[in-house]
């Protein structure tokens, strides 16, 4: 099947394109490079084969031939193959050679453009590669001077405009010398950005005469020309800038927390340790309960999962007419609202105990579509208030398979791990994954489970929601 040459962007996983992310999630095989952030691999689906072809900067032609052959072999294998490359695949990425090899072999392929470091790394550091009145052209060159004939440094020295040098750190002294000899003024502004758009980003502002002394290493982008004298700010720091945060929620429920963390400036690694599965018996009991909902005065929901499993089983939009609907918190109420049901009762604080306290006294019947292995706080509390509670399993929370070793390895360097439920805590500990220094929990019940598992809980959300967790982390800045 098809081999997709996907540009991973310059470093920040958020700068992968949407098409790239969709293909990554669908891929059977992911072949990735040295410069690709390992956190991106957590977007691959469970069981995808991950192949590291970590090219060092001086990978010889033989090495590239091996990669080409590997892509052809996987492409012929029949699955969806993603070749994940730093920046844009066709900017000094040798993606062109890979495309030619695939075409020659008759393997279908497609290039998915990426955000190239040549433009994005300067931009993120506050330097526009063109600027009205300063530079009307930009030239992207390789600093590899191994083949001196390939780059006419004298011509670049004479031409004005912006020069962006990739792979130029080892040869920066020679590059500066050639440009100076060709007539570029020694005071020409130069900016060097190492590991741009990543938490390790470092920037040196200097001049052409001083470029050789710039004390940075690879990978770095060197920008030479008047625009390098500009400093247009770059990224606004958020409360979690520089912080790597692990999200352990089930994949389909991770987005709101992951998005809120990214907006706050964090780098996010998604490692779903639990999955939501249908109840035992494939939901026959739940369907039966839905058919008999009219026998109840109330239906109580303690999670969005229960809402999404139960509501579609109602035969008629009017099935809930005259029945009170209770939700444990804003997220559960929002899941109801999305399906056209306005909750009559939303518990504050958003815990089962809070819902019990807010509930009117019985008698009567309450239907409680619940998590199979959830806690009994709600039914026990409501019975004590005089209600008959009919419990039915709406879903099960099951441990997810372990993440691939590549992703587990990234966890060791993360600053924070977040837990949204006691089941996520238990699953994480069962997988024996590295625990980052800061453990953050969405609420008191989850925090208690973490402490029981031997973890020290540093952050607990005041409001048990994704936004509440991010706010609590921002106040206790972990790095």
Contact between 218 and ligand SAH per CB under 6 A: yes
Asked if 17 interacts with ligand SAH (CB under 6 A), we say: no
Q: Helices (DSSP H) in 220-327: which residue ranges?
A: 255-263, 284-291, 304-310
Nearer to ligand SAH, 89 or 329 (CB): 89
**Residues in contact with 93: Cβ distance below 8 Å, sequence separation at least 6, in sequence order:** 7, 85, 86, 87
Query: Which residue out of 33, 37, 88, 393 is catalytically annotated?
Result: 33
For residue 366, which phi and psi values (nearest 5 degrees)? -120, 130
Restricting to residues 220-239, name those near ligand SAH by CB under 6 A. 220-221
Question: Which span (217-225, 249-257, 295-303, 357-365) binds ligand SAH, by CB under 6 A?
Answer: 217-225
* Contact yes or no for 356/383 (Cβ under 8 A): no
| Catalytic residue from among 12, 37, 85, 167 | 167
Over the window 70 to 109, marking each residue x when it contacts ligand SAH by CB under 6 A and - when it does not, the resulting string is ---------------xxxx--xxx----------------
Q: Which of 24, 35, 227, 274 binds ligand SAH (CB under 6 A)?
A: 35
Residue 472 exposure: Cα atoms within 13 Å on the Cβ side: 22
For 63-102, letters b (16+ CB in 10 Å) and e give ebeebbebbbebbeeebbbbbbbbbbbbbbbbbeebbebb
Q: Which of 4, 6, 10, 266 binds ligand SAH (CB under 6 A)?
A: 10
Helix H or strand E encompassing 378: helix 377-384
What would the two tokens of residue 282 be?
Answer: 């494939």
Minimum distance of ligand SAH from residue 166's CB (angstroms): 4
Site string for ligand SAH, 152-191 (x = CB under 6 A): --------------xx------------------------
Could you give the CA distance from residue 167 to residue 92 in angstroms, rounded to a whole number? 9
Distance of CA 48 to the CA centre of its chain: 17
Q: How far is the CB of 60 from ligand SAH (least distance, A)?
A: 15
Reading the block at residue 319, the tokens are 């099935």
Q: How far is the CB of 324 from ligand SAH (least distance, A)?
A: 55
Nearer to ligand SAH, 86 or 157 (CB): 86
Closest CA to 6 of 15, 23, 68: 23
**What residues numbered 290-349 form the site for ligand SAH, per CB under 6 A?**
none
Q: With contacts defined by CB under 6 A, how many residues of the chain interact with ligand SAH?
A: 26
Nearest-CB residue for ligand SAH: 87
| 33 carries an active-site annotation | yes
Closer to ligand SAH by Cβ: residue 15 or 306: 15
Q: Is the dihedral of CA 46, 47, 53, 54 positive or negative?
A: positive
Q: Report, in Å, the least distance between residue 122 CB and ligand SAH.
A: 9
Catalytic site residue from 12, 37, 55, 393: 55
Token digits for 206? 């200097």
Interface with ligand SAH (CB under 6 A), residue from 122, 157, 196, 443: 196
214 phi and psi, to 5 degrees? -60, 120
CB closer to ligand SAH out of 168 and 474? 168
Q: Which of 4, 195, 301, 428 is the binder for ligand SAH (CB under 6 A)?
A: 195
Q: How far is the CB of 134 from ligand SAH (least distance, A)?
A: 22
Q: Helices 422-430 & 444-452, crossing angle to 10 degrees?
A: 30
* Residue 304 backbone phi and psi in degrees, to 5: -65, -30
Annotated catalytic residues are 33, 55, 167
Q: Which residues bind ligand SAH (CB under 6 A)?
A: 10-11, 35, 85-88, 91-93, 116-118, 121, 166-167, 193-198, 218-221
């Amino acid at each position: 099947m098809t081999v997709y040459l996907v540009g991973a962007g310059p470093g920040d996983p958020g700068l992968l394109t949407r098409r790239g992310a969709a293909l990554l999630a669908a891929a059977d095989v992911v072949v990735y490079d040295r410069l690709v952030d390992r956190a991106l691999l957590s977007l691959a689906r469970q069981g995808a084969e991950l192949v590291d072809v970590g090219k060092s900067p001086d990978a010889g032609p033989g090495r590239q031939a091996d990669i080409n052959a590997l892509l052809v072999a996987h492409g012929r294998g029949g699955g969806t193959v993603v070749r994940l490359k730093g920046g844009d695949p066709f900017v000094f990425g040798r993606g062109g050679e890979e495309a030619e090899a695939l075409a020659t072999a008759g393997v279908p392929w497609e290039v998915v453009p990426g955000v190239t470091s040549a433009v994005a790394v300067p931009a993120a550091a506050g330097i526009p590669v063109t600027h009205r009145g300063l530079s009307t052209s930009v030239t992207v060159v390789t600093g590899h001077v191994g083949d001196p004939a390939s780059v006419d440094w004298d011509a670049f020295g004479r031409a004005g405009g912006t020069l962006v040098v990739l792979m130029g750190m080892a040869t920066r002294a020679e590059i500066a010398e050639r440009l100076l000899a060709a007539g570029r003024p020694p005071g020409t502004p130069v900016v060097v950005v190492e590991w741009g758009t990543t938490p390790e980003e470092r920037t040196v502002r200097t001049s052409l005469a001083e470029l050789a002394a710039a004390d940075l290493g690879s990978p770095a982008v060197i920008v030479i020309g008047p625009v390098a004298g500009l400093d247009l700010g770059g990224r606004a720091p958020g409360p979690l800038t520089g912080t790597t945060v692990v999200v352990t929620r089930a994949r389909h429920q991770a987005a709101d927390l992951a998005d809120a963390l990214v907006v706050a400036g964090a780098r996010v690694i998604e490692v779903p340790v639990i999955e939501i599965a249908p109840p035992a018996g494939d939901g026959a009991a739940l369907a039966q309960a839905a058919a008999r909902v009219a026998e109840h005065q109330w239906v109580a929901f303690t999670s969005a999962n229960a809402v999404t499993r139960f509501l579609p089983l109602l035969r008629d939009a009017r099935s809930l007419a005259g029945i009170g609907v209770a939700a444990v918190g804003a997220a559960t109420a929002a899941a109801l609202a999305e399906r056209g049901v306005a909750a009559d009762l939303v518990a504050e604080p958003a815990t089962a105990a809070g819902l019990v306290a807010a509930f009117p006294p019985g008698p009567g019947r309450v239907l409680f579509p619940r998590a199979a292995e959830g806690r009994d706080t709600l039914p026990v509390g409501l019975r004590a208030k005089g209600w008959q509670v009919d419990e039915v399993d709406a879903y099960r929370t099951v441990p997810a398979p372990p993440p691939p070793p590549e992703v587990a390895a990234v966890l060791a360097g993360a600053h924070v791990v977040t837990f949204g439920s006691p089941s996520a805590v238990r699953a994480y500990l069962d997988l024996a994954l590295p625990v980052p220094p800061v453990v953050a929990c969405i609420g008191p019940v989850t925090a208690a489970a973490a402490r029981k598992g031997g973890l020290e809980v540093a952050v607990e959300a005041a409001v048990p929601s994704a936004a509440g967790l991010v706010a609590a982390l921002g106040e206790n800045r972990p790095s």
